[in-house]
A and B are shown apart, each in its own frame.
Chain A
Amino acid sequence: MQLLLVRDVLDNQLVDASGKNAGKVDGIILELREGQPPCVRYVEVGPITLTRRLNRRLGRWFARLDARFGSGRGVPIRFPLTRITFEEPSLRIDVLVEHTPIMALEQWLRRTIVRRIPGS
């Protein structure tokens, strides 16, 4: 099976092991190796990579903002390509998204705002 990185991977929907939406593939990381062809290593997900693609300065600003939310934050969220399988119409990643920083904003909004409104 032939895979076109930009058409079939970049900007495609990711779902987690339970079928929940886990964001879009916002970036693809290739490793350059001495004397060998480049190798696709990771996909990146989340607003740091997303904003950096729109504008580098905006990306840096967003990363600094994100870093304030705890250790391990402020850097792009990255998954090895080996953890991804291709299942039309999405890419499946073998993690539970609730346990990853992808859902940090969602969880924060849920805790601090949504749960305080009756009927949520």
Chain B
Amino acid sequence: MKRWFGVALGIVTSIGGFLEIGSITTAAQAGADYRYQLAWSIVLGTICIALLIEMSGRFAAVSKHTIADAMRERFGLHFFMVPLVLVFFVSLLVLAAEIGGVAVSIELVTGIHYPLWALPAALLAWALLWYGTFSIIENGISLLGLVTVSFAVAAVHLGPDWHALASGLAPSLPSKEPAHYWFIAVSVLGASVSPYLFYFYSSGAIEEKWDVTHLGPNRVIAAIGMGFGGFLSVAVLVVAALVFAPRGIKVEEYTQLPLLLSAPWGRVGFGLFAGSLFITCLGATAEIALALAYKIAQGFGWNWGEDLGPSDDARFSLTYTLILLVSMLLVLVGIDPLKLTTLSMALTAASLPVAILPFLILMNDSKYLGEHTNGWLGNLAILVISVLSGIVAVVSIPLEIIGGS
């Protein structure tokens, strides 16, 4: 009974924690610019992250190692440093975007410009980590994130063209501006397949002392939780296609975003959007800061654990403190949260081969997984998605920046 309660909770928190500034913004841009045509990129990203989450949970449950710990052990110090440094810098930008998301949501309600809210936003996330426990962050915040289900209700309420949406689920060549199309497609992928997520998930599995009996629930949580999360992303795309595209609005300012819910529901919708952005970005801020601190602490063999008091793991606690401080500064100096989000999502996609391929090697090592190593289908799917998204991102980022199409 307790196990199935855990599964239900895991599914609910995966759904509540799926959307954040990256997935909301990129799905909104996709819907505004290409209506339903890019829905496939969300589906592809969701399949990829569901597979990766299942793998990282399985890895921790069977091997009792976190991914960062095993990467250092398996590949040695030098090779460990490459994905560490790369994922670290890309995730710092993503973290800044999430802090920006919290700050923007407060600006929407108070009218006071977002940079002023950077410090309170970072401080709030820090307090959650310093004073809270793993389950408060994992369960509490993600449960509140269920407010994002309002996007799905809005999508149905607005009445999408189901036939067009269904045909958007299959990849197709761009109808206009090909460079921009591929840029948005990889940004969507980067927003779904965030490497920090599986470092966070495998650390959580170790914190909660998973073993092989958790493999079944792990599979169910990854498939259903991530599946419904992806469904919410598609809902954002649908709402954007119905709200932005007919009005000819391109998402270029973060202040345009609340229209997603205020168009169908007025002030209530505006409040729901601000609430959704606040809670999901706050959760993501805490998770990313924690995931990066986990990666460093595990890579260097320190004591770590969100359930330990800060004085029992001083290096770990000060690492997430410092990470939050640095990212917060990017928002404080007034870098536009929307531009930061789009760029950091595309950079995440570009970094995927380096971040994911070593993990794939670990997933096929019987020293860690015994009989639970990956099947060929999972290997092939992750290999193709991560390499393709890396190549397309590297090509489309410069084109997007110079404004070519």
Contact = CB atoms under 8 A, between A and B. Distances in A.
A23 B130 contact: no
Interface in A3-25: 6, 10-14, 20-24
A26 interface: yes
B14 to A, nearest CB: 27
A88 B303 CA distance: 18
Given A21-B304, A117-B130, A11 B315 contact: no
A12 B318 CA distance: 24
Interface string B55-92: 00000000111000100110011101100000000000
B261 to A, nearest CB: 36
Contact of A23 (B80, B300, B309): B300
A-side interface mostly: mixed
A26 B77 CA distance: 8
A24 B314 contact: no
Contacts of B299: 24
A61 B9 CA distance: 50
Contacts of B168: none
Interface residues of B, number: 26
A21 B77 contact: no
A113 B72 contact: no
A89 B65 contact: yes
Contact of A11 (B76, B303, B314): B76
Contact of B314 (A13, A89, A113): A113
Q: Give the bracket for the number of chain A residues in contact with chain B.
A: 20 to 34
Interface in A46-76: 50, 53-54
B310 A120 contact: yes
Nearest to B309: A120
B218 interface: no
Contact of B310 (A13, A14, A114): A114
Given A24-B72, A109-B318, A54 B78 contact: yes
A115 interface: yes
B73 A6 contact: no
A13 B311 contact: no
Contacts of A54: 77-78, 81
Contacts of B300: 23-24, 50
A38 interface: no
B311 A110 contact: yes
Contacts of A1: none
A119 B303 CA distance: 18
A110 B299 CA distance: 20
A6 B76 CA distance: 8
A20 B304 CA distance: 10
A105 interface: yes
Nearest to A47: B300
B303 A106 contact: yes
Given A21-B303, A89-B63, A50 B310 contact: no
B73 A13 contact: yes
B131 A119 contact: yes
Contact of B76 (A10, A14, A106): A10
Interface of B: 63-65, 69, 72-73, 76-78, 80-81, 130-131, 299-304, 309-311, 314-315, 317-318
25 contacts: A10-B76, A11-B77, A11-B80, A12-B73, A13-B69, A21-B301, A21-B302, A22-B301, A23-B302, A26-B77, A54-B77, A54-B78, A54-B81, A106-B302, A109-B318, A110-B314, A113-B318, A114-B311, A114-B317, A115-B311, A119-B130, A119-B131, A120-B310, A120-B311, A120-B317
Interface of A: 6, 10-14, 20-24, 26, 50, 53-54, 88-89, 105-107, 109-110, 113-115, 117, 119-120
